[in-house]
């Protein structure tokens, strides 16, 4: 079964086509399908029925993907491909089939906590009361909203609408203002100690580690050629242009390789890469369709190659290098990162998992020009280069694996630097406001409300009256 046939991890379609769906299944009927099932790559997935919206969800790594009913025992994913549940002679569900492959039911007795379906339990009785974030032994200073310029009324309204479900699948909202964590709220089953996937926001972590490796002299510089790090490989479509690709070209997504997630005709298909035996080989085998330092094309293979270069240069795994440098210096001890760029990471994408508070610390490090306390963790020069426009990717200015975006509020433009990932993972740096905003979420492959929350309830506080 191809990955995009069930869980849509890279599908760009939305659910408008389901509005016409006439076949309906009630909650008790949906519960019949619940359980743990076999999945790709000797892994498993869970099937769960939501009591909140009466929808069946496939769950991998806590990411939920809706399956809409089509006919008896048949559901459609967002690409409108069929997922068919199978029954034995006594009509008991035994598994499912998709893309001509069959996967067995492993365990029927699974309990799904009620908290996973509701932003807050007893939402009808919810009335928000602001509380200053608690000080923890994690290096963050906390404070109140007083004298921050943030509008308590707007934040109250934001909280109410998240809890009411107006903005679904928002997992956390944090604000650091003037160096202090002044706002911290969690929803569903998430809390301050629970790790959250970062998806492509991981790329910005890789960017920081590249700078640290260069600062330490382990990598000579950003202009080193990529292929020089892989003498043991023989690559296809080898040209003089490919030989000239530099580390910087990978950081700016200007490698020139035929790899562009926004182009369905691109040969560098992300799903194919994920299911290949060697993501480095797969990406660097691709043909060149532009010169290095030319057109910006969003390609997840680029930072993966950078990560492997760091490993070669430091002679340690990427997570270990992070643990001994970046994470150690800013007090990140609770994380998960399995950086293995091969088929074993097809469902986890080599991403790092952090707590939202640690995401906020990473953003604060960049806001403070690489300084944490009295220690220069990343050089000021690297921070500046990383947050400077080098390319335009998908119509947005782009630095070194950082997006340089702006949000407009009632005619006022707010310039931000953002690490972002699928589902609504956002670490925004607002230099002019001396502020960091962190939002995590579970809106995978659909529009996240994260930017709208910032536009409507956080940034308006700073509009000139």
Structural domains of the chain in order of their starting residue, each with its CATH number? 3-116 (2.40.128), 119-465 (3.40.710.10)
410-458 pLDDT tens trace: 999 999 999 999 999 999 999 999 999 999 999 998 899 999 999 999 9
Give 59's strand partners. 46, 64
Please tell me the predicted confidence (pLDDT) of residue 2: 39
Range 349-370 average pLDDT:
98
Q: Which of 423, 427, 431, 430 is nearest to 439 (CA)?
A: 427
- pLDDT at residue 5, rounded to an integer: 38
User: Rounded to an integer, what distance in angstroms lies between the CA atom of residue 352 and that of residue 374?
Assistant: 26
The Cα 100–Cα 441 span in angstroms is: 32
**pLDDT for the residue 22:** 65
What is the model's pTM? Answer: 0.94
- State yes or no: pLDDT of 256 exceeds 80: yes
Query: What pLDDT does residue 15 have?
Result: 36
Question: What local confidence, expressed as pLDDT, does residue 80 receive?
Answer: 86
d(CA 30, CA 69): 9
Convert the pLDDT of each residue in 133-151 to its tens digit.
Answer: 999 999 999 999 999 999 9
Q: Where residue 382 falls among pLDDT bands split at 50, 70, 90?
A: very high
Question: What share of the chain has pLDDT > 90, as a percent?
Answer: 90
Sign of the dihedral through C-alpha 155, 156, 159, 161: negative
Give the CA dihedral 381, 387, 388, 394, nearest 10 degrees: 150
Distances (CA, A) of 320 to 137, 205, 226, 315, 317: 22, 13, 22, 10, 5
pLDDT, position 132? 98
Q: What is the mean pLDDT of residues 225-232?
A: 98
Is the pLDDT at 1 greater than 70, yes or no?
no
Q: For residue 11, what pLDDT is reported?
A: 37
* Section 185-206 average pLDDT: 98
Which of 255, 256, 237 lies closest to 246, judged by CA?
A: 255
In this predicted structure, what is the pLDDT of residue 8? 36
* Token pair in block for residue 227: 């292929």
pLDDT digits (tens, 9 = 90+) for 12-60: 333 333 344 468 899 999 999 999 999 988 899 999 999 999 999 999 9
pLDDT of residue 79: 78
């Amino acid at each position: 079964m191809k990955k995009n046939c069930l869980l849509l991890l890279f599908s760009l379609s939305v659910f408008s086509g389901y509005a016409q769906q006439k076949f309906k299944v009630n909650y008790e009927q949906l519960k019949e399908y619940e359980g743990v099932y076999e999945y790709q790559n000797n892994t498993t997935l869970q099937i769960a029925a939501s009591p909140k919206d009466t929808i069946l969800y496939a769950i991998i790594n806590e990411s939920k993907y809706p399956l809409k009913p089509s006919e008896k025992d048949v559901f459609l994913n967002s690409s409108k491909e069929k997922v068919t549940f199978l029954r034995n002679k006594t009509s008991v569900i035994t598994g499912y089939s998709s893309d001509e492959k069959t996967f067995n039911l492993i365990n029927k007795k699974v309990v799904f906590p009620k908290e996973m379906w509701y932003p807050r339990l007893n939402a009808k009785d919810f009335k928000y009361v602001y509380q200053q974030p608690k000080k923890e032994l994690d290096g963050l200073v906390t404070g109140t909203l007083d004298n921050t310029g943030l509008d308590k009324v707007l934040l109250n309204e934001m909280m109410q609408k998240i809890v009411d479900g107006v903005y679904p699948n928002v997992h956390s909202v944090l604000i650091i203002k003037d160096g202090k964590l002044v706002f911290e709220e969690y929803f569903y089953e998430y809390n301050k100690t629970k790790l959250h996937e970062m998806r492509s926001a991981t790329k910005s972590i890789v960017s920081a580690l590249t700078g640290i490796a260069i600062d330490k002299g382990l990598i000579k510089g950003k202009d080193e050629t990529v292929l020089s790090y892989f003498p043991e490989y023989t690559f296809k479509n080898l040209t003089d242009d490919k030989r000239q690709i530099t580390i910087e070209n990978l950081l700016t997504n200007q490698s020139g390789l035929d790899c562009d997630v926004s182009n369905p005709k691109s040969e560098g298909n992300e799903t194919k890469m994920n299911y290949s035996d060697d993501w480095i080989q797969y990406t660097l085998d691709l043909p060149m369709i532009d010169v290095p330092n030319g057109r910006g094309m969003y390609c997840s293979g680029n930072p993966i190659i950078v990560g492997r270069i760091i490993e070669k240069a430091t002679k340690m795994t990427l997570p270990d290098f992070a643990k001994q440098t970046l994470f150690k210096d800013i007090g990140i001890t609770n994380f998960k990162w399995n950086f293995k760029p091969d088929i074993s990471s097809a469902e986890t994408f080599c991403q790092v998992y952090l707590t939202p508070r640690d995401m906020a610390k990473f953003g604060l490090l960049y806001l403070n020009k690489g300084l944490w306390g009295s220690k220069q963790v990343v050089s000021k020069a690297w921070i500046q280069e990383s947050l400077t426009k080098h390319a335009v990717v998908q119509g947005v200015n782009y630095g070194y694996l950082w997006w340089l975006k702006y949000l407009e509020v009632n005619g006022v433009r707010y310039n931000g630097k953002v690490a972002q990932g699928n589902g609504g993972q956002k670490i925004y740096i607002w230099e002019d406001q001396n502020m960091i905003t962190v939002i995590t979420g579970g809106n995978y492959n659909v529009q996240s409300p994260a930017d709208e929350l910032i536009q409507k309830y956080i940034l308006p506080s700073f509009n000139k009256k």
